[in-house]
Amino acid sequence: MSKKFEDFLQEKHGGDFVGTKDMMIDDYENWLENVTIDEWIEYADAFKKQSSSELLAVLKEISEGKEAYNEDKLLHASNCITNMKEIAKKAINKEEA
């Protein structure tokens, strides 16, 4: 859910891009330079809408006490530990990259 706006833009660019991966990086920079004001607004609105939808889904899951938000104390503790392990793995992978 913590997707960044830049990741969103890279996906938008990648959907329209035709060429090799090596060319994609340079083309992305050129593409950014040519985005119009109206396109920036359109992309920002789309990102906001997507982010809002993802947030709403998580809030519904929490409010219904499902999955990691289950009220059973042992299951909740287990889910917290699993989530912390995933967060730690991501942080380690980020540091090693």
Convert the pLDDT of each residue in 3-21 to its tens digit.
688 888 888 887 777 777 7
Per DSSP, the residues of the chain read ----HHHHHHHHHHHH--S-HHHHHHHHHHHHHT--HHHHHHHHHHHHHHHHHHHHHHHHHHHTT-GGG-S-HHHHHHHHHHHHHHHHHHHHHHHH-
pLDDT at 1 over 60: no
The pLDDT confidence band at residue 97, using thresholds 50, 70 and 90, is low
Convert the pLDDT of each residue in 29-73 to its tens digit.
888 888 899 999 999 998 888 888 888 887 888 888 777 677 788
What pLDDT does residue 38 have?
92
